[in-house]
Amino acid sequence: MGVIRVLPDRVANQIAAGEVIERPASIVKELVENSLDAGATRVEIEFSKGGRSLIRVEDNGRGMTRDDALLSIERHATSKIREATDLDHVISFGFRGEALPSIASVAHFVLRTRAEGQEVGTEIVINGGKLLHVRDCGMPVGTRIVITRLFNTVPARRKFLKSDRTEAGHIIQVARLYALASPGVAFSLIEERRSVFQSPICPDLRDRVAEIFGKQVANLIMPISGAEGDLKIEGLLGRPGVGRGTRHEMITFVNGRPVDSRTLGYAILESYHTLIPKGRYPVAFLFLSIDPAGVDVNVHPSKREIRFRDEPRVRGFTIRTILNGLRSEVEPAPTRPIRDRVEPVEPPRSEGSRSRDDLPVRTATPSQPAAGPVIPVPIEAERRALPVGPPAGSAANRPEAGRSVEWSFLGTLQGAYLLFETDQGLVVMDHRAAEQRIWFERLMKAFRDGEVAGQRLLFPVPIEFDPIGGVIVMDHLDFFGSHGFEVAPFGRNTFRIESIPTWLAPEKGEDFLRDLVGMIRQGSLSSRKPDLAAEGLARSACRRLTENLDLPGAGEATALAEALFSCLVPQTSPTGRPTYIELDTNELNRRFHKGRPGSSEEMF
């Protein structure tokens, strides 16, 4: 007799359950997807003890007849695809017909459902894959599934569950994702009989985010959109400077389905990488629509992970759309110049031939080494409003775009910070971070425009490298040349720096060239990717340029603030640190217990 047997369904289902049901939240996901696929406009989710003791999902969708209900708990029974070719065009959430039988094989499972036009509903009860009974029941049109005693048949799985709090967190996240994905459906989530969130049908995405994630999050984000061919993006993205310690608020949807996509995740991080600190994650709710034929959703049984057929196209489009959106947000509105409390606003320093687009550099005559750090000159023609509001704090007190504000310089703090008084309170600016942002954008502009002038050194500087460094320099002579460095070979691994970029002080030329070679060696700078190279170069340059800054006087501080706000992204340094923070007067009053009834102020 042969030894090969076809597995009994019950065992097959339990095996499938191992794949489909990673944790309680996976059950919630499968059931909610079914409700949405059934055309529900109301979905209620309840759970307790992290889903261990109860998961209930109830909808007002089209429900099932008794025959369909019985089929729904059979393996590979699905109403959603008929042939394998349909797989390319799947637009419903489910299509494998695995979820219900898998869930029913590892828990106590009660399905109640009634289809339109049926007199009565059907109740099916299954425990650990064993059908206990099927009978008529009273029930409004729709479906209600109640899962208790999760993993009672597979005790080993129970042991792998994390704490109730952790499992609850996953369930809440899943419910949020689907609620966000389906603004045309009313959602309610209940934990231990208490409402976690409740969101009526609500077409405005931002209101929806406020209901689901809270008003605070909703205030930190701004709408973006874009379209190219079959690709379309709508989204709400965190303002520059808004960063989170986890990815939980970096959420992507493709054709209405919450997904994990490396491509989209990478594109979002990439777009923000100079706007928030390293190691932090942006807040992003990003909805991409694309021709379904361009997506492969069948990568993983739980279907969260997807791939695009043309990854570079999707990535490029996403980055462009986000950057455009961020740019239009941070472009401040025109306004009057800021006033200066201590002394009249200095006119921008006139330095002869310098036009407004020139880099604010030292006099670039070779015989005369530049001295001292230079305060960038404000760009007259582009005076801008100083948007108020902390770069990373609550944006609730952010004024509408276009409101102009006056900043008055008060003084400095600890040799590092500049203090300003504003309409709203007190601004503390990080001097170096602000200088770095200004330099960074000016250099980037110069690199992009190809205007990197070199200054000839009267006495070329000899520079020697180790053999690898020598090879790198030989290979990159053109690259250095196009960025203002003329370097001539001068024997084994030895070179002469003949000219350096005008923005660099001659005494820093050698160090900076060594920096560049080091970066190329580590792979953080590649001459084959000009955009990235320019950025790496600019970032490293502005580090060097802002070493040992002198504290500005009043006029210079004001000019510095203006120059900062003529930047595209004034709120952060090129590495994503805040350039300034604002202490709101209301906050100060609150901390001094002013303006509250019964406060000490009233007693005197």
Selected binder of ligand ADP within 96, 280, 313, 543 (CB under 6 A): 96
Beta carbon of residue 49, minimum distance to Mg ion (angstroms, whole number):
24
Q: Which is nearer to Mg ion, 95 or 213 (CB)?
A: 95
Beta carbon of residue 168, minimum distance to ligand ADP (angstroms, whole number):
23
Confirm or reject binding of residue 78 to ligand ADP (CB under 6 A).
yes
The answer to whether 235 touches 223, Cβ cutoff 8 Å, is yes
Q: Which is nearer to Mg ion, 80 or 320 (CB)?
A: 80
What is the identity of the amino acid at 182? S
Confirm or reject binding of residue 38 to ligand ADP (CB under 6 A).
yes
Segment near ligand ADP (CB under 6 A); pick from 98-106, 410-418, 425-433, 493-501: 98-106
Residue 224 binding: pick among ligand ADP, Mg ion, none (C-beta 5-8 Å cut-off by kind): none
DSSP string, 479-524: HHHHTT-EEEE-STTEEEEEEEETTS-GGGHHHHHHHHHHHHHHTS
| Cα separation, 107 vs 393, whole angstroms | 45
Using CA atoms of 380, 382, 386, 391 in order, give the dihedral in degrees to the nearest 10: -120
Q: Which is nearer to ligand ADP, 46 or 98 (CB)?
A: 98
Segment near ligand ADP (CB under 6 A); pick from 75-83, 190-198, 204-212, 506-514: 75-83
Residue 122 binding: pick among ligand ADP, Mg ion, none (C-beta 5-8 Å cut-off by kind): none
Beta carbon of residue 121, minimum distance to ligand ADP (angstroms, whole number):
12
Confirm or reject binding of residue 100 to ligand ADP (CB under 6 A).
yes
Q: Which is nearer to ligand ADP, 60 or 572 (CB)?
A: 60
The answer to whether 49 touches 164, Cβ cutoff 8 Å, is yes
**Which two three-digit tokens encode residue 325?**
């959106």
Contacts with Mg ion: how many residues (CB under 5 A)? 3
**Binding to ligand ADP (CB under 6 A): which residues in 54-73?**
59, 61-64, 72
**Which two three-digit tokens encode residue 271?**
């777009």
Selected binder of ligand ADP within 99, 370, 497, 504 (CB under 6 A): 99
Beta carbon of residue 94, minimum distance to ligand ADP (angstroms, whole number):
2
Residue 392 binding: pick among Mg ion, ligand ADP, none (C-beta 5-8 Å cut-off by kind): none
The answer to whether 329 touches 387, Cβ cutoff 8 Å, is no
Beta carbon of residue 96, minimum distance to ligand ADP (angstroms, whole number):
4
Site string for Mg ion, 88-117 (x = CB under 5 A): ------x----x------------------
Segment near ligand ADP (CB under 6 A); pick from 77-85, 325-333, 438-446, 514-522: 77-85
Task: From 469, 467, 518, 463, select the one nearest 486 (Cα to Cα).
Answer: 463
Confirm or reject binding of residue 79 to ligand ADP (CB under 6 A).
yes
Helices 262-272 and 311-330, packing angle to 10 deg: 30
**Which two three-digit tokens encode residue 408?**
């008055």
Confirm or reject binding of residue 143 to ligand ADP (CB under 6 A).
yes
Selected binder of ligand ADP within 30, 249, 515, 562 (CB under 6 A): 30
The answer to whether 487 touches 498, Cβ cutoff 8 Å, is yes
Length of the chain: 604
| Cα separation, 281 vs 246, whole angstroms | 6
| Cα separation, 495 vs 64, whole angstroms | 80
Q: Which is nearer to ligand ADP, 78 or 436 (CB)?
A: 78
Confirm or reject binding of residue 40 to Mg ion (CB under 5 A).
no
Q: Which is nearer to ligand ADP, 144 or 170 (CB)?
A: 144
Selected binder of Mg ion within 13, 26, 34, 122 (CB under 5 A): 34
| Cα separation, 235 vs 206, whole angstroms | 9
Selected binder of ligand ADP within 42, 80, 307, 320 (CB under 6 A): 80
Q: Which residues is 43 bridged to in the sheet?
A: 59, 187
Confirm or reject binding of residue 97 to ligand ADP (CB under 6 A).
yes
Q: Which is nearer to ligand ADP, 77 or 379 (CB)?
A: 77
Residue 72 binding: pick among ligand ADP, Mg ion, none (C-beta 5-8 Å cut-off by kind): ligand ADP
**Which two three-digit tokens encode residue 49?**
């003890």
* Rg of the chain on CA atoms, in Å: 31
Q: Which is nearer to ligand ADP, 96 or 273 (CB)?
A: 96
The answer to whether 423 touches 408, Cβ cutoff 8 Å, is no
| Chain mean position to CA 24 | 27
N- to C-terminal Cα separation, the chain: 100
The answer to whether 43 touches 176, Cβ cutoff 8 Å, is no
Contacts with ligand ADP: how many residues (CB under 6 A)? 22
Query: Which positions ≥6 away from 341 have C-beta within 8 Å?
Result: 408, 409, 410, 421, 554
The answer to whether 369 touches 340, Cβ cutoff 8 Å, is no
Beta carbon of residue 123, minimum distance to ligand ADP (angstroms, whole number):
14
**Which two three-digit tokens encode residue 13?**
């289902």
Question: Which residues would be at the binding site for Mg ion (CB under 5 A)?
Answer: 34, 94, 99
Question: Which residues would be at the binding site for ligand ADP (CB under 6 A)?
Answer: 30, 34-35, 38, 59, 61-64, 72, 77-80, 94-100, 143
